[in-house]
């Protein structure tokens, strides 16, 4: 029986400190199949496969590979067993070339020749139909090039069991489809593949069977062609849920934030933002879409006064002494901006690296943005402590109290502290970057509700997201960034995911004209859909529609 299994994990348990990452979980990967490992963020998918790839060691349980019981103590052991993992966060040495990364750690002659390595890698890439420049340095690579390098690295080691951890998180719809094609090729080549994902559409598109985990525990394994979205969702969350994100109708108010021709350089002196212009009115959510690294981080940080711009202007509505004007704020520090009578709240992408201090308690973190409010040289902890206690209660934050260390809270609770604090400032402009990254479904929906609540209060919300489905459902307008330029501002009610996906990779020169400021409710872009792309999408459209009914 077990001979047919490429991998058999039985009764695996793994703990971190006092929490279970996996509790009595089993997994069966058949020879030559694609198994999707499905579960919410924090359900223990990555922990489970990390024990297969030698990153973690299980507390208890057995692992068999090709029918033999094995002990995997390190990534080296995993390679020797033919197991290769493509991690979500790429494990590539930035200052090495593609070829150096690929041959790294492999046996061979002591003396190395760069030319020979490059040649060898190029040949392997050719065999599987990858496009890669072996001499290219990793720091010069795009995200998908890095992923390609990772895959070749695993193949170079002769792996016949491949694990891909959330491989599509950073890819455009087009690149995703290309990756799935590669996966089907590899399957045809006899490889057994595990793909980790929390996106139902991808599960249905590429896998043969699905194993579902929930809260670190095994739920069930089903054949993909015998299941559907609602069943999978129910298994994932544990109860039937409506995955509909609300988009309450609010009549738009005054313009609160205006960005004009904003440009920024990165540390290498290259343009990461190129003449970005848009406005946001009170009572609307402007979504911002784009592949990772298209300038989202620089955009929100330069608006918030945390990143230097090289040109353009940022204006915010200021109400000071009964006078309402659009105040230029570009280049001002956050505390200076707030002194101008502007209440701007910003939820940064890096929660514990920028938004919060992990080593401090909730009170001090709440105090972070307000400690200058009282006079005198001493800090006042009374007010922030009261606010901290209120936030814990209102947002149902799981913490022992206002004195709990933020870094020890779970991801969802950390985010609630951050968003709660920012919203407590009663902002007129709220910028949120990837607010649901790493959160489970319930926490995510709580966050969407909070954002909608702010929108109803007349706040201008800028929502930077990565999940196109969410962006399309939540936003009132959707701005698409591509290579630091605005490639379109569209009405999410009138476009498809694929059209937005195209804008994400499109050269701005041939994209929409006058993308600067569209009147609301009107589709701005003119999609130059070409024959070939239409053909390409016609296939993927069948699997489209992650949006639950």
Q: Which of residues 365-384 bind other proteins (CB under 8 A)?
A: 367-369, 371-372, 377-379
Q: Which of 28, 56, 195, 211 binds other proteins (CB under 8 A)?
A: 56
Q: Which of 260, 304, 329, 527 binds other proteins (CB under 8 A)?
A: 304
Smaller CB separation from other proteins, 214 or 485: 214
- Best CA proximity match to 464, nearest among 332, 304, 248, 242: 304
Q: Which stretch binds other proteins (CB under 8 A): 43-51, 250-258, 281-289, 533-541?
A: 43-51
Which residue matches tokens 């514990």?
Answer: 352
Side-chain-side CA neighbours of residue 269 (13 Å): 0
116 binds other proteins (CB under 8 A): no
CB of 432 within 8 A of CB of 451?
yes
124 binds other proteins (CB under 8 A): no
Nearest distance, CB of residue 232 and other proteins, angstroms:
18
Give the Å distances, CA to CA, from 271 to 102, 295, 298, 302: 30, 9, 10, 14
Q: Chain centroid to CA 307: how far?
A: 21
CB of 284 within 8 A of CB of 520?
yes
Nearest distance, CB of residue 354 and other proteins, angstroms:
4
Which residue matches tokens 């330069």?
Answer: 302
Smaller CB separation from other proteins, 25 or 478: 25
Q: Which of 27, 29, 49, 87 binds other proteins (CB under 8 A)?
A: 87
Q: Which of residues 485-504 bind other proteins (CB under 8 A)?
A: none
Report the alpha-carbon distance of residue 36 to residue 24 in Å, rounded. Answer: 19
Q: Which of residues 6-35 bind other proteins (CB under 8 A)?
A: 15-21
Nearest distance, CB of residue 200 and other proteins, angstroms:
19
Give the Å distances, CA to CA, from 546 to 54, 276, 473, 497: 33, 30, 11, 10
407 binds other proteins (CB under 8 A): yes
CB of 325 within 8 A of CB of 318?
yes
Q: Which of 79, 180, 278, 434 binds other proteins (CB under 8 A)?
A: 79
Nearest distance, CB of residue 439 and other proteins, angstroms:
8
Could you give phi then psi for residue 271, rounded to 5 degrees? Answer: -75, 120
Q: Which ranges constitute the DSSP H helices of 207-347?
A: 229-237, 296-303, 334-339
CB of 434 within 8 A of CB of 346?
no
CB of 495 within 8 A of CB of 475?
no
Residues in contact with other proteins, counted by CB under 8 A, come to a total of 106
71 binds other proteins (CB under 8 A): yes
101 binds other proteins (CB under 8 A): yes
Report the alpha-carbon distance of residue 313 to residue 57 in Å, rounded. Answer: 52
Smaller CB separation from other proteins, 92 or 508: 92
536 binds other proteins (CB under 8 A): no
Smaller CB separation from other proteins, 41 or 233: 41
Nearest distance, CB of residue 265 and other proteins, angstroms:
14
Q: Which stretch binds other proteins (CB under 8 A): 89-97, 125-133, 492-500, 525-533?
A: 89-97
Strand-by-strand arrangement of the 311-320 sheet: 271-281, 255-265, 311-320, 323-328
Q: Which stretch binds other proteins (CB under 8 A): 4-12, 167-175, 329-337, 525-533?
A: 329-337
Smaller CB separation from other proteins, 77 or 261: 77
- How big is the chain by its Cα radius of gyration, in Å? 25
Smaller CB separation from other proteins, 58 or 295: 58
Q: Chain centroid to CA 241: how far?
A: 22
Query: How many other CB atoms are there within 10 angstroms of residue 346's CB atom?
Result: 23
Determine the 3-state secondary structure of 423 from DSSP: helix
169 binds other proteins (CB under 8 A): no
Give the Å distances, CA to CA, from 63 to 55, 74, 512: 14, 14, 54
Smaller CB separation from other proteins, 333 or 456: 333
394 binds other proteins (CB under 8 A): no
Nearest distance, CB of residue 55 and other proteins, angstroms:
6
409 binds other proteins (CB under 8 A): yes
403 binds other proteins (CB under 8 A): no
Q: Which residues of 362-386 are buried (b: 16+ CB within 10 A; e: fewer)?
A: bbbbbbebbeeeeeeeeeebeebbe
Nearest distance, CB of residue 463 and other proteins, angstroms:
19
Q: Which of residues 189-208 bind other proteins (CB under 8 A)?
A: none
Smaller CB separation from other proteins, 184 or 372: 372
Q: Which of residues 238-277 bind other proteins (CB under 8 A)?
A: 267
421 binds other proteins (CB under 8 A): no
Nearest distance, CB of residue 114 and other proteins, angstroms:
9
Q: Which of 5, 28, 34, 42 binds other proteins (CB under 8 A)?
A: 42
């Amino acid at each position: 029986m077990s001979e047919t299994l490429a991998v058999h994990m039985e009764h695996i348990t793994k703990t971190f400190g006092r929490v279970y990452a996996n509790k009595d979980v089993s997994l069966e990967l058949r020879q030559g199949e694609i198994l999707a490992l499905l579960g919410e963020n924090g359900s223990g998918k990555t922990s489970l496969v990390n024990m297969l790839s030698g990153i973690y060691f299980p507390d208890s349980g057995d692992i068999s590979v090709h029918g033999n019981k094995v002990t995997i103590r390190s990534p080296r052991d995993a390679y020797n067993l033919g197991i290769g993992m493509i991690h979500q966060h790429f494990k590539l040495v930035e200052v090495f070339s593609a070829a150096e990364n690929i041959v790294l750690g492999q046996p061979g002659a002591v003396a190395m020749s760069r030319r020979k390595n490059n040649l060898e890698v190029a040949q392997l890439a050719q065999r599987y139909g990858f496009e890669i420049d072996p001499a290219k340095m990793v720091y010069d690579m795009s995200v998908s090039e890095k992923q390609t390098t990772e895959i070749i690295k695993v193949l170079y080691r002769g792996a016949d069991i491949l694990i891909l951890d959330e491989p599509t998180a950073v890819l455009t719809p087009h690149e995703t489809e290309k990756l799935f094609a590669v996966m089907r090729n590899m399957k045809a080549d006899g490889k057994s593949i595990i793909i980790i994902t929390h996106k139902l559409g991808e599960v249905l598109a590429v896998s043969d069977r699905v194993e579902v985990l929930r809260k670190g525990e095994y739920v069930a394994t089903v054949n993909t062609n015998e299941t559907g979205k609602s069943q999978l969702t129910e298994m994932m969350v544990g109860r039937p849920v409506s995955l509909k994100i609300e988009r309450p109708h609010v009549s738009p108010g005054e313009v609160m934030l205006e960005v004009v021709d904003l440009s920024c350089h990165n540390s290498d002196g290259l343009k990461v933002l190129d003449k970005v212009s848009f406005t946001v009115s009170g009572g609307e959510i402007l979504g911002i879409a784009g592949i990772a690294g298209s300038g989202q981080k620089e955009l929100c940080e330069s608006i918030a006064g945390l990143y230097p711009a090289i040109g353009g202007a940022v204006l915010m509505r200021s109400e000071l002494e009964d006078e309402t004007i659009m105040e230029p704020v570009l280049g001002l520090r956050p505390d200076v901006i707030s002194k101008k009578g502007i209440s701007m709240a910003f939820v940064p992408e890096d929660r514990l690296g920028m938004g919060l201090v992990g080593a401090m308690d909730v009170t001090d973190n709440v105090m972070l943005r307000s400690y200058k409010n009282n006079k005198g040289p001493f800090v006042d902890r009374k007010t922030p402590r009261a606010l901290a206690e209120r936030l814990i209660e209102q947002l149902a934050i799981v913490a022992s109290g206002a004195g709990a260390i933020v870094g020890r809270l779970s991801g969802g609770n950390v985010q609630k502290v951050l968003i709660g604090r920012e919203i407590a400032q009663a902002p007129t402009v709220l910028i949120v970057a990837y607010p649901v990254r790493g959160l489970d479904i319930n926490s995510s929906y709580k966050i969407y509700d909070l954002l909608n609540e702010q929108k109803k209060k007349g706040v201008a919300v800028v929502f930077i997201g990565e999940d196109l489905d969410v962006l399309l459902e939540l936003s009132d307008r959707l701005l698409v960034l591509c290579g630091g330029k605005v490639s379109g501002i569209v009405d999410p009610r009138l476009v498809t995911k694929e059209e937005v996906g195209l804008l994400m990779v499109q050269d701005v020169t041939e994209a929409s004209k006058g993308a600067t400021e569209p009147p609301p409710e009107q589709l701005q872009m003119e999609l130059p859909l070409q024959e070939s792309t239409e053909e390409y999408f016609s296939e993927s459209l069948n699997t489209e529609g992650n949006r639950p009914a």
